[in-house]
Every structure is written in C-alpha cells, then in structure tokens.
Amino acid sequence: MSVRDRFFLERDKAVLVVIDVQEKLCVAMDHKVLSKLTKNIGILLESAVELGVPVAFTEQYVKGLGPTLPELKSKAAGAACYEKMAFSCCGSAEFLTWLKATGRTQVIITGMETHVCVLQTVIELRDAGFEAHLAKDAVMSRDKRNWETAIEAMTLTGAVPTCTESVLFQLLKVAGTEEFKKLSKLVR
C-alpha cells in the first residue's frame, strides 16, 4: 500500500461513524470542548451527506445514556443508527454487517469517549483490516489525559490521526467545484 493510499481519504472508499454522542453522556463533558466537538462532527456530517459518504451513528445503552444529540442526527436524517451494549462498535453484529455491506475500507471516526468506545472500536476495526482515520478534533473524553492516552494508543495501532478540515478537503480533492463552494463555507 502506498503512502497516499494509506493517508488520503477517498469518498468512494470512506464511511463516517459517529460514536455515542448521546444526551446524558454529553452532560458529563466539558461544555467548551463539547461545543467544538459537535461543531466539527456537524461539519463532517454535512460534508458526508453532500458527498455521498455513508454515515452511521452508534448509541451505547440508550436506556441509560439517551439518544444521539438531535442536532447531529438531523444533519444525516437517513443515516443508520445502531444501539449497542459492547463498548466497541464492532461488538454490534448489525453495525459490522452494515460496514461490510458498504464495501468500503476507510472509516472516519468521531465521537466519545475517546478512551473507551472510540479506542476499542479503532482497535477492532484495525484488527479486521479497516483503515481508521481518527478525527482528533471530533473525539473527546471527560479527562484530557484519557483523550491523549487513547489518541496515542490508536496511532500505535496504525490509525491515521487527522482533523475535520483535513477530512473535508481530502474528500473534496479540488477547489472550484460547486461542492467545494458549498462545503468550504462550513470551515470559514
């Protein structure tokens, strides 16, 4: 695999996964960091929908943690949503079936908590042969040290550390298109 193939996202190979950004879990988060997280995930959701990149939401123990934030769900209204009890998304047979059925190999990762559900998902995705692109500015934990440790661990698995704007512009590839004109406004 070339360096370009490993690090560049391709819209026909990518999916976007939003892990457990749920109402009751969000209450426990730093509100400034949460605001940035939801803004960045929103940008990625709008971009994915516009560019035809499949989207999935996961929800950990909905009875206890509530649903995904409505402002995020509304940005990709037709997206799949998988409830899970396992911390890793890969612990959901329905999620894995969806992911494999897309035929795509690049998984853009967002969500919370970085050191629990996000980390375990990335480890299992990498183990299953998927490329994980970790949007560092679109994942969070309650504690920054836990976030930092998980980012380091995921990078060691071979996950590609990235950020919201890098994801957007890799998927766009070129300036001057109608898609570029529409989506680049999201990061101004």
Question: Annotated catalytic sites, by residue?
Answer: 20, 84, 117
Give residues with Cβ within 8 angstroms of 148, minimum separation 6.
none
* C-alpha–C-alpha distance, residues 144 and 114, integer Å: 10
CA distance 166 to 113: 22
Distance CA 157, CA 148 (A): 15
Q: Which are the contacts of 155, defined by CB distance < 8 A and separation ≥ 6?
A: 134, 161
